[in-house]
Amino acid sequence: MHSQSLTTLSLEPMGRTMATELVRRLLVGYPNLTAPDPEGYLAALVDAMEGYPQWAGEHAVMRVDEENKKFPPTEKEFRSWLKEYVRPFVFERQYNLHSMEQLAESNRLERDSKEETPEQKREAVERHLRPAQEKYGLQFTCIGDAASNVLDRKLSEAEAEATLEKYRKLKAKAE
């Protein structure tokens, strides 16, 4: 299989300038190019190549050299080689993106399942305030209502400060 991965190879398209350079390098090997429309053939190969990464274009040019073909490749043949080279890397990128999305969704679901319900929050507040109530002799009319008021709606900064001040006064009286 492929020994390199997306961490070392980019799928960034090479662009028209690099594609033109690679196609010219390819066609230099065919001194007697007898295409009916050489400029059209050149443009077709450049169009096929410019949307692919440079390394894929270089592989395609080397493939022509390795096969020692008497005739240059057609645009369709050349495009199929480019797709063949890039396919595993595109798959790897899509697989990694899909995996990251799944992990994020799994983390979100796990976080959501760990969140406490308002009932659980009230119980926790009562569990923690009851010892303080007993230790300092503080009197609350209804801990559950106080917890519900704090937990079910966000207090403004002034409300939070006023509540804290009331608690401090009660604590000071108890001592």
Considering only CA atoms, which of 98, 90, 100, 103 is closest in space to residue 6? 90
Based on its alpha-carbon atoms, the radius of gyration of the chain, rounded to whole angstroms, reads 35
DSSP 8-state class, residue 156: P
Give me the residue label for tokens 């679901």. Answer: 109
Give the pLDDT band of residue 154 (cuts 50, 70, 90): low
Q: Given this model, what pLDDT does residue 48 score?
A: 87
Give the pLDDT band of residue 152 (cuts 50, 70, 90): very low
Of the spans 60-64, 123-127, 141-145, which averages the highest pLDDT? 60-64
Residues 40, 34, 85, CA angle at the centre, nearest 5°? 60
Q: Given this model, what pLDDT does residue 31 score?
A: 64
Residues 14 and 52 sit within 8 Å (Cβ to Cβ)? yes
Chain segment 77-124, per-residue pLDDT in tens: 888 989 998 899 889 888 988 889 888 888 887 877 777 677 777 777
Domain boundaries, the chain: 16-112, 118-174
With b meaning 16 or more CB within 10 Å and e meaning fewer, what string describes 139-159?
ebeebeebbbebeeeeeeeee
Angstrom distance (rounded) from CA 30 to CA 70: 8
Angstrom distance (rounded) from CA 116 to CA 85: 51
- Amino acid letter for position 29: G
